[in-house]
């Protein structure tokens, strides 16, 4: 089955939700780490920037915790940048869990494929193209090979250079290379990358010269 291509950034609670959606959606999916977002100012700012650049789809569970996280996003992000996918409250428990949730309902990770596809189809690139009179040209995307060729992945000092790139892009320094790539592409692709790459290289050079 072909994956749904979604240009907006999708926000879910945890890694198992992310894994579940990655099986049927081609897009940028990030996690809140549960309530972790409440104490992480850098990540909160990260979500705001992604929302302004691409728009956010919040897809938290239908339980109490999911509602708290959903309301938090409503409080920090202007309404024009945020959309919601509501997971139906279907009784049951996920296979990996020994007991059901407090509410006794399935979370996003426990939803069947047909239900999830139906929830996200309205946000797919094809659906949004049909609703739009003007097709915006897509930004050229940065690839993992670009990061490798530019020294930000897999080579000598790549970890230090990657941190410099994250600082230049004003992204949280604890996100993975994959998450960084998704964020850069959501914030402007190659054009944005070329700007922050230059700043990162300057910052890294100044640091190495200062240590000599």
**Residues 12-52 pLDDT 10s:** 999 999 999 999 999 999 999 888 888 888 888 999 999 99
Residues ≥6 apart with Cβ < 8 Å to 142: 181, 184, 185, 189, 190, 193
CA 63 – CA 101 distance, rounded (Å): 8
- Residue 88 clears pLDDT 60, i.e. is over it: yes
Both tokens of residue 166?
Answer: 């994250």
Domains of the chain: 4-131 (3.40.1360.10), 144-211 (no CATH)
56-65 burial, b at 16+ Cβ within 10 Å, e below that, comes to bbbbbbbbeb
Specify the pTM.
0.77
Which tokens is 12 given?
Answer: 């879910």
Tokens of 110: 């426990």
pLDDT at 207 (0 to 100) = 63
Q: Is the pLDDT of residue 209 over 70?
A: no
* Strand partners of residue 29: 10
- Mean per-residue pLDDT, 81-96: 86
Report CA-CA distances (Å) from 49 to 62, 82, 99, 110, 174.
26, 12, 37, 30, 17
Q: With 50 as the cut, is the pLDDT of residue 62 above it?
A: yes
| Alpha-carbon span 111 to 98, nearest angstrom | 17
The whole-number pLDDT of residue 212 equals 55
The count of C-alpha atoms lying within 13 angstroms of the C-alpha of 183, restricted to the half-sphere facing its C-beta, is 27
- What's the N-to-C CA distance of the chain in angstroms? 55
Contact 37, 69 (CB under 8 A): yes
Residue range 191-206, pLDDT digits in tens: 999 999 988 888 777 7
- Please report the pLDDT score of residue 132 as a whole number: 47
User: What is the three-class DSSP state of 74?
Assistant: helix
122 neighbors 159 (Cβ within 8 angstroms):
no
- pLDDT of residue 133 exceeding 50: no
Neighbours of 124 (CB within 10 A): 20
Give tens-digit pLDDT for 135-191. Answer: 455 568 899 999 999 999 887 888 888 989 998 888 877 788 888 898 898 888 999
pLDDT at 83 over 90: yes
Tokens of 60: 């938290």
């Amino acid at each position: 089955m072909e994956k749904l291509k979604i240009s907006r950034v999708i926000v879910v609670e945890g890694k198992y939700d992310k894994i579940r959606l990655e099986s049927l959606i081609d897009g940028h999916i990030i996690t809140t780490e549960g309530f972790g977002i409440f104490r992480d100012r850098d990540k909160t700012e990260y979500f705001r920037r992604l929302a302004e650049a691409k728009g956010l789809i919040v897809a938290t569970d239908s339980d109490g915790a999911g509602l708290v996280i959903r309301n938090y996003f409503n409080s920090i992000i202007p309404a024009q940048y945020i959309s919601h996918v509501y997971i139906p409250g279907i009784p049951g428990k996920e296979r990996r869990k020994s007991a059901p949730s407090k509410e006794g309902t399935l979370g996003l990770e426990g939803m069947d494929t047909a239900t999830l596809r139906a929830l996200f189809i309205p946000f797919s690139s094809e659906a949004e193209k049909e609703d739009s009179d003007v097709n915006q040209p897509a930004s050229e995307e940065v690839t993992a090979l670009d990061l490798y060729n530019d020294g930000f992945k897999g080579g000598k000092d790549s970890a230090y250079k990657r941190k410099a790139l994250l600082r230049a892009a004003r992204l949280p320094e604890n996100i993975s290379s994959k998450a960084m790539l998704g964020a850069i592409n959501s914030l402007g692709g190659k054009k944005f990358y070329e700007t922050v790459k230059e700043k990162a290289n300057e910052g890294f050079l100044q640091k190495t010269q200062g240590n000599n």
